[in-house]
Each structure stands twice: as C-alpha cells, then as structure tokens.
Amino acid sequence: MNDQTMTPEERAANLKGMGSSRKRVEDVRFTQGKGNYVDDIKLDGMLFGAFVRSPYAHARVVSVNKEAALAVPGVVAVLTAEDLAPLGLHWMPTLAGDKQMVLADGKVLFQGQEVAYVVAEDRYVAADAVELVEVEYEELPVLTDPFEALKSDVVLREDLEGQTEGAHGPRKHHNHIFTWEQGDKDATEAVLAEADVVAEEMVYYHRTHPCPLETCGCVASMDKVTGKLTLYGTFQAPHAIRTVVSLISGLAEHNIRVISPDIGGGFGNKVGAYAGYVCSVVASIVTGKPVKWVENRMENLMSTAFARDYWMQGKIAATKDGKITGLWCHTTADHGGFDACADPTKFPAGFMNICTGSYDIPTAYLAVDGVYTNKAPGGVAYRCSFRVTEAAYFIERMIEVLAIKLNMDAAELRRINFIKADQFPYQSALGWEYDSGDYHTAWDKALKAVDYDGLRAEQAQRIEDFKAGKTRKLLGIGLTHFTEIVGAGPVKNCDILGLGMFDSCEIRIHPTGSAIARLGTISQGQGHATTFAQIIASEIGLPADDITLEEGDTDTAPYGLGTYGSRSTPVAGAATAMAARKIRAKAQMIAAYLLEVHDDDVEWDVDRFAVKGAPERFKTMKEIAFAAYNQAIPGLEPGLEAVSYYDPPNMTYPFGAYICVMEIDVDTGEWEVRQFYALDDCGTRINPMIIEGQVHGGVTEALAIAMGQEIAYDEMGNVKTGTLMDFFLPTAWETPNYTTDHTVTPSPHHPIGAKGVGESPNVGGVPAFSNAVHDAFRPFGLVQSHMPHDHWRIWKIANGLGMHG
Ligand code: MCN
Ligand code: CUM
C-alpha cells in the first residue's frame, strides 16, 4: 500500500506515535551488552581514584599519614582536605543551601565519609594504597536519633556553631537545620479541638536507599592544550552539573563538556554532586591525565543519597460520619551530617505539602523540622517526586488509622472524602492547585476489578477460621489512592541553585525527512529515545523510527534541568510537542507555497498538509522536508528546525488506585502477595508498554521498601545494611505478578495532556503493601507498626497481639 490508498488510521499507525506500544529502541544495545556506561569509558593514560573512608560515624581526624601509600609503585597522589583547601575545594555547596565537606576537614560526621583520595595508575594499586593511608581518629559521641540530636549538647556541625540563621530561616538548636511550615496552624488546631473524632499516630517512613544497579562514577579529563574539561558521569542533570563545576572550579562554562553516557538506573541517587566528582576533576587538572572514579556497592549504599527517614506525627479530624475536617502533621526529618537534599530551593521539605492526598480536606497544617545526625547526607532520592512518597504514605496510613477509630470500611472512608471530579482545578489547603482528576471513577474501577466485597467476605471467613484454630494465616487487603505532584516546575517558584526548572527540546529535520531531537533531560532506563520520538511522530507526521533522540551531552543538547521528579514528560515532553508544533507551522507555509494556495487553505492530516476541501491535493511531511532544503521559498529561511524552552504553567497531578492482597503467616512472619492491582492515571499515555514497565519496576521497589529494605544504623553509627547480603533487593523470585490498569484524565495545561508516571508506582505501592500488613492484623487490634515489614517485625506484631499462645 502506498500513501494514496492508506486510510488516515493506517498512516497514523505507521508512525508509531503516541499511544503505540512501540518496542524500546535502546534495548537493541542493552540486551547485546553494547551499552556504554561510565565504567566502559577508557581513555589513554587514564588514572584511577579511590577513597579512604571513615570507619567512625563521628570522630575528630587527628592526622593523616600518606607516606606508606605514596611509596606504593603506581600511586600518583594522595589528596586530603589540606590539598584542596588552597583551591577552596575542601567544601562544596549542596543543593539545599548547606555546604558539605569534600574530604574530611578536621572531623567526620558519618561512617563512610570521604577522608582522602588516592590516585593511582590502576584500580588495584589504588585499592591497595587506600589500605596504607594511616588516619588517626579520636572518637566523638554519636547521634543517630534525630529526636536525641535536638536535645543533645553534642555539636555536630562545628562549622555552623553560633549560626542561628540557616538557608531556610532560623535554627532552633545547634543540630537543627530548618523549620518549614505550610497551611493554617491556628485554624487546624481549632478544628482538632472541636472535632467529633481525632485519630493521632506517629508514622515513620524509614531510611532506605535507591541502590541503582550501576553505582555512581565519573571520568574527568582535562585537556591542558585546549583548556577544555570533559566530564563523563552518571549524572541525572548534566547541564546543572556543568554550571556547578564552572561555579566552583572557576573554569569557563564553555570550556566544560559534561556527558552522561548510558546510565544503569538513577532513581534519584545520581542527582546530587559527590566528592568523587570534585576530587576526580581536581586530580585530572593537577595531573593532566584522565581520572576515573567508580564506587563499589558498599560505598554506594553507605555514602550516597539515601531516601526518606521521615518521622511524621499526624492528627486527622473527622465528623462521626467520617467527613474529614482537618489534618495536622509535624515531621522530624533526619538529613544526616550535611543537608544535601536535592529539592527545589524554596522547598526544604520538597512537596511534602501534598500530604492532604486525594482528599477534600478543608483545613490543614504542616511543619517539618530538618535535623543533623551522624548519618550519610541526601534525602531526596528513590522515585520520590520530592518527598511525595513520604506524603502519600503519611496520608494513606492516617486514613486507615481514622477508619479504625470510626469503625468504618477504609474504602468507603476514602470514597466519601475524595475531591470530586467537578472540583478541579482544586485548590488544596496546603497551597497546591491540582490540575485534573477523577478519583471516584478510578476507585470504583479498582474495587470492582479485585472484587472488593468478595475479598472482605473471604477475609471475614478467614478471621473466623483463625479464631477457630483452623488456619494460621491472615488475609490483608491493602488499599491506596494516591495523588502525586510532578513536573517541576514553574520557573517562578521552582529552581535548583537558582536555575529555573524549565526544560527544552531542539528538533532538526533532515532533507530526506528523518530527524534528530535533542533534549535537556537524560534517560537512565526510562526509554526516552523511544517515547519522545513518539511525541514528535504524532505532532509532525514522520515515523518514530526515523527520529534519533540524543540526550546528555551539554555540548550539543539545549540547556535543561534533567531527569528526576518524573519531570521529563511534563516539562521536556511539553517542550518536545511545542518544538514540533513550530516545525509544523513552518511546514504549513511551505506546503501552501508548494500547493499554490494561501497558508490558511491547507489543513493538517496525520502526516501531510492537504488543501481544504481537496484532500487529494497534498504534500507529505517528507516532501515538505525536502522542499525546505531544495527550494527558495519567498519570505522563508531555508531549513526545518526548531527549539523550545518550556516553562510549565503548573505541575501535573497524576493519581492512582492500588490494591494489594496479602497472606501472612503469624508463626513465621512470612508474607505472600497473592494479588497486586495497580491503576494509574497519568493523563494522555505516550507508550502503554513503557508505562507498564515503569509500574512493574516501581511497584517492585515499593515491595522492597515496605517489606524489608532499609539503611539501618546501630548506636555507634555503623551501617548495618551496607551490602546486598543485608540490604533487601528483590529478584524475580520475590517479585509477585502485577495487574496494571488505567484511566485517562488529561492534564488541561500540558500541550499533549500528559502527566508523569515514573515515580507513581513507588509512591502508591509502599502504602498499599504496608496497609495490607496492617489490615491483616486490624481485626486483632493493630493500629500502627513501623516499616519495613520484614518477617521478624511481622512475627513481633503477631507476638505482641498474643498470637503465639
Ligand atoms: N510516559 C508515557 N506516558 C505518560 C508519562 C510517561 O509514555 N503519560 C513514559 C515517558 O515517555 C518515559 C517514562 O514513561 O519514557 C517515564 O516518564 P516520566 O514519568 O516523565 O519520568 P522521567 O522520564 O522524568 O523519569 C524519572 C522517573 C524518576 S524521577 C525516577 S526516580 C525513576 C523513574 O523515572 N528512575 C528510573 N523510572 C526509572 N526507570 C528506570 N528504568 N530507571 C530509573 O533510574
Ligand atoms: Cu526523587 S528520585 Mo527521581 O526524582 O530521580
């Protein structure tokens, strides 16, 4: 069939545009072992860097003796804070307005902190020399509990001593970082005082870690002839890294080229700046040779951006019929030794103020206190959408706790409190404007899909059987309805280090009708090369297979703020559609010229412009592309390309309904997920297969977090879970089957109506698993128990409820 005989639907299908489950183009190289990751980069004369790290969580560094290490053949240098100080690089600014030691400056604040950087001719020599650096420490009292830290005389950050103003306002104590308040405190307290019912609970979301398959790393290569620094690295925000490197090194920004090659998972772990980047750059500048640094698994788990660690004290007020009247939350946030949270500048607790969730709550108040402890810094990683994971867990636990207090069904309690479809755009009590949603439709679809009433009947029977001694297994039904906020963000209120959070896309159409698009974002596994080409295909009528996508090279890609917070689709995806529309607008003029009619007399039809009323007279996009390079068209420049920098008017608010059905053995604490149903609404769906993949991956991470994964410390500040022997990373064996489903409520302000989805399954998954555990024990009196729900902790719940005789 040719263009003349195909129907518009057939022509559209050929494009593999939006809505098509197009296969991932990047997998051709990944599945053949042909990916190009940082550690695959090998440059002539390349040296290797490795860190000497502190075994103590809090200690004074009395002395560092490099002699034995320097004597090892092949060792080129050993850097300490003293070497970096003259360059002003022994400390670096964090994304949260704090500063952080690059190498220990007088003391260490967490186990695994970088103390010295050994540079050697190969990785093995570097590792040997690390062992020979003699560091004398003097132990100091360790604070691993944020509540203790706020009472303690021990000053963790001596560099800030006496400083009562922090980056986000007054500091109340020498270990206090900031207080962030949102909503109406007095009104909320008044509502709580007068309410029929108030449920109160401490909800802890434990510390965990994104643990990407590929750890963090970089290769710094300073060319002393051209004065140009090339920095390859596992960066989720390559342009921001270039600007930061320029600002802290003093190198001109045009002389820095940052390249993110293939990335083996980021999950927020690769947003921030690490000591390894700074030390490698310095070492390359000093030696004039390329320097590679790649962490091992323990280093990654112990020292790079952790996730969560939020203690959320909640109060929720309702009428006796279950209508929620107010929500109060006070969070104590453990940020570790330095505040290196990667939040937009004005949001020290991220978007935690989305904690009113999917519910029409008229009055609310949120306060967050950030606290220093002797733990690794970080805090915003792991499919978090800037603390939206914490917010969703908090509200979805509080709803369950309120249902217990009201003796109500938790599904019904949610239903009567949902924001209604006709209330959108909805103004939340904590300051957000939700763009669109239809929660009741999604909820009813989900409950029906799992036969909710049937499950409750089965559960009631199970409880009878358990009490009669016929079974030792309980059945839990874990409900969640989450609302996310993704797509940071309007430049007017979202920036990182002063860089407004817009994003960008540049498209060039080649004469033969194929194209290359470059974006300011960077895929770490999300499949951008597949999906962004689909947006362009639908917008300009060229097949997705003829569109190359390039990200991550700051010398070629337009400036953008990178990929995290599920912002690529809401922001760069919008830029992509807008750039494509600019091309289409020019193509319309070219087509009109070629067809010898007025611009307004042609109309768009899938992959061509046709004369209105005479569809047989048309020019395909391919023909138009050639004409753009081959004809002198009066009043038009040659060529066909466009760039768009997109500043979104608002964020997007994806939502979903997740239900987990779990069997729990009260004698062993073992659990089994019998069913997991995930309904996501991310507005217009670009690639259903990729969305499903995102949901599978994210729910599996949620399973890990809820059911066993944690970064745990002992009272000495030792990391107890620094290897994959102790840190639970699910394999295919532990991973249950998932059922995915969707509704489509487009975003009204996004050019193609799409919302983000990458983080949703983690946001919604964790409360669904946790609520299933709680729900199983609810009939026996359990109200709240902290995650992770590993076998031991589940056994302890059962034991505490007197189930072991
Ligand atoms: N998508 C779609 N239709 C939509 C929304 C999204 O087809 N309506 C597609 C997108 O085109 C893209 C993918 O789904 O290919 C994810 O899009 P989006 O939700 O915009 O998220 P980002 O691309 O910005 O990715 C970031 C997000 C985050 S913040 C974390 S953390 C996370 C996640 O993605 N890290 C990941 N998913 C990951 N998946 C992999 N494999 N590896 C990671 O490191
Ligand atoms: Cu916060 S994890 Mo994702 O935003 O890269």
Q: What is the pLDDT of residues 23-48, one digit of tens each?
A: 999 999 999 999 999 999 999 999 99
- Three-class SS of residue 246? helix
Is the per-residue pLDDT at 602 higher than 70? yes
Does 642 contact ligand 2 (Cβ within 6 A)? no
Could you identify the residue written with the tokens 């109506």? Answer: 753
State in Å: Cα 304 to ligand 2 middle: 14
Q: Please state, in angstroms and rounded to a whole number, the distance separating the CA atoms of residues 658 and 483.
A: 12
Q: Which ligand is nearest to the CA of 344?
A: 2
Where does residue 273 fall: left (phi above 0), alpha (psi -120 to 50 degrees), or beta otherwise? beta
State in Å: Cα 232 to ligand 2 middle: 20
Does 488 contact ligand 2 (Cβ within 6 A)? no
State in Å: Cα 759 to ligand 2 middle: 7
State in Å: Cα 15 to ligand 2 middle: 31
DSSP state of 559: P
Q: Please state, in angstroms and rounded to a whole number, the distance separating the CA atoms of residues 716 and 36.
A: 40
Is the per-residue pLDDT at 805 higher than 90? no
CA–chain centroid gap for 249, Å, is 28
* 220-266 pLDDT, tens digit each: 999 999 999 999 999 999 999 999 999 988 999 999 999 999 999 99
Q: Which ligand 2 atom sits closest to the C-alpha of 386?
A: 1
Does 266 contact ligand 2 (Cβ within 6 A)? yes
What's the average model confidence in pLDDT over 172-193? Answer: 98
Q: Copy the structure tokens of residue 709.
A: 């994964």
Output the ligand 1 site: residues, CB below 6 A: 265-268, 383, 524-528, 531, 563-569, 682-687, 690-691, 694, 697, 754-759
Q: Which helix (H) or strand (E) is 691 found in, with range?
A: helix 688-707
Q: Which ligand 2 atom sits closest to the C-alpha of 759?
A: 3
Q: Which ligand is nearest to the CA of 536?
A: 1
Does 418 contact ligand 2 (Cβ within 6 A)? no
- Ligand 1 test: best mutation among 569, 743, 750, 760, most atoms within 8 Å of CB? 569
Q: Cβ distance 431 to 394 under 8 Å?
A: no
Does 564 contact ligand 2 (Cβ within 6 A)? yes
Does 380 contact ligand 2 (Cβ within 6 A)? yes
Q: Exposed, middle or buried: residue 155 (CB in 10 Å: 0-12, 13-18, 19+)?
A: middle
Whole-number pLDDT of residue 5: 82
Complex ipTM > 0.95? yes
Q: Please state, in angstroms and rounded to a whole number, the distance separating the CA atoms of residues 525 and 82.
A: 39
568 CB contacts (<8 Å, ≥6 apart)?
503, 519, 521, 523, 526, 528, 756, 758
Nearest CA to ligand 1 atom 43: 265
Does 268 contact ligand 2 (Cβ within 6 A)? yes
- Catalytic positions, please? 236, 383-384, 759
Q: Which ligand 1 atom sits closest to the C-alpha of 530?
A: 15
**Neighbouring-strand partners of residue 307:** 208, 379
Does 272 contact ligand 2 (Cβ within 6 A)? no
- Ligand 1 test: best mutation among 566, 680, 743, 760, most atoms within 8 Å of CB? 566
Is the per-residue pLDDT at 523 higher than 80? yes
Could you identify the residue written with the tokens 């209330």? Answer: 423
**Cα–Cα distance list, 573 to 320, 328, 690, 752 (Å):** 45, 36, 15, 8
Does 17 contact ligand 2 (Cβ within 6 A)? no
CA–chain centroid gap for 348, Å, is 16
User: What backbone torsions phi and psi does residue 602 show, to the nearest 5 degrees?
Assistant: -115, 150
What's the average model confidence in pLDDT over 49-60? Answer: 98
Does 476 contact ligand 2 (Cβ within 6 A)? no
The β-bridge relationship of strands 739-742 and 671-681 is parallel
Q: Which ligand 1 atom sits closest to the C-alpha of 565?
A: 29
Q: Copy the structure tokens of residue 493.
A: 């209120």
Does 306 contact ligand 2 (Cβ within 6 A)? no
What's the average model confidence in pLDDT over 436-444? Answer: 98
- Three-class SS of residue 365? strand
In order of start, what are the domains of the chain with their CATH numbers?
A: 8-35+502-646 (3.30.365.10), 38-140+215-263+270-303 (3.90.1170.50), 382-486+652-801 (3.30.365.10)
State in Å: Cα 531 to ligand 1 middle: 10
DSSP letters of 160-218? Answer: GTT--EETTEE-SSTTEEEEEEEE-HHHHHHHHHH-SEEEEEEEEEEEE----SS--EE
State in Å: Cα 485 to ligand 1 middle: 14
Does 562 contact ligand 2 (Cβ within 6 A)? no
State in Å: Cα 407 to ligand 1 middle: 39
Q: Copy the structure tokens of residue 448.
A: 């029906």
Terminal Cα distance for the chain, rounded? 75
Cβ of 247: how many Cβ atoms within 10 Å? 13
Whole-number pLDDT of residue 3: 57
State in Å: Cα 224 to ligand 2 middle: 36
pTM for this entry: 0.98
Q: Cβ distance 318 to 195 under 8 Å?
A: yes
Q: Which ligand 2 atom sits closest to the C-alpha of 342?
A: 1
* 659-672 pLDDT, tens digit each: 999 999 999 999 99
State in Å: Cα 711 to ligand 1 middle: 25
The half-sphere exposure of 691 on its side-chain side, counting CA atoms within 13 A, is 29
| Confidence band of 1 (pLDDT split at 50, 70, 90) | very low
Q: Please state, in angstroms and rounded to a whole number, the distance separating the CA atoms of residues 246 and 633.
A: 43
Q: Cβ distance 203 to 293 under 8 Å?
A: no
DSSP letters of 121-163? Answer: SSHHHHHHHHHH-EEEEEE------HHHHTT-S--S-GGGTT-
Whole-number pLDDT of residue 598: 97
